[in-house]
Structure 1
Amino acid sequence: MSVEQTGGSPNITGKWSDFDALGGREVHDLLKLRQDVFVVEQACAFGEIDGKDPVALHYFLLSPSGEIAGALRLFAGSGVDRPSRIGRVVIAPAYRGLKLGQRLMRDGVAKARELAPEAPIHLSAQAHLERFYGEFGFRTVSEVYLEDDIPHIDMVLGV
């Protein structure tokens, strides 16, 4: 499944895709971006390739040349007892400051609602991004905890 969307930031195209529909170059570029940001830039040695990508739905923001400007992954829920989950939200350094994070989250929440309208949406946020996610209606539901030596909080967006 691959659905194209346009709008938002000029010349940036949104694309949803199942993992198995991604080409080798797309998988490489996605994993490289996440490694560059989450492991290298944030100086956090952890297993970024966690085995969960094959069961996630992936959303990309792509430049006109096809470069990944941003990405996230979504696990669609099925109700109150099985919430949706958004994670691995990342913006490439060259595309920061263009409000692409807002676009990723708007589109991610919309897709989660489309696929499972009765399911709350959960995310594990780096604690310093609490206000950012709060702008989309997420509320904090945990104390700060360390995940891979980075302070995180659990947040949820109800139905």
Structure 2
Amino acid sequence: MAKKKKSNKANSNTIALNKKARHNYNLTDKYEAGMSLQGWEIKSIRSGKVNISDCYVMIKDREAYLVGGEIMPLTAASSHVVCDPVRPRKLLLNRRELDKLIGSVERDGYSLIATAMYWKQCWVKLEFYLGKGKKDHDKRADIKEREWKIDKERMMKHAR
């Protein structure tokens, strides 16, 4: 029997990205969490009606919630279900992870920033980072560094 080849599709499982997060925050520790979702939300996610550009993770009563994530309901949704597109969604984390996050947020002044939502097998996962907000001068330094890297590559290309 011949073995089946696995196709390596890295971006096919990505649902939504938050591209501004790396520009606005210094991101340090990466976390992955499952989400508690309703049926209509899964249907909307499958059709790609998700926006996580302005969302963050909030800790309340020793539980983590995704706040500001927008999942737009489908037009063919059931009439007896009340759809709230911006409701806080509970994140599924281990107690040890939650305790570490609570300590970092309350003592050290970190924020929890959502960066990506993706499929992992049949589950919807949220990737979020522990980070601190950048000042304007930090953003300018990053832009200068990125532009210098591009210019350097151009000079090396023309030198050959």
Query: TM-score range with shorter-chain normalisation?
Result: under 0.3
- For the pair shown, the structure with the greater C-alpha radius of gyration is 2
Normalised by the length of structure 2, the TM-score is: 0.28
Normalised by the length of structure 1, the TM-score is: 0.28
Higher relative contact order (CA 8 A, sep 6+): 2
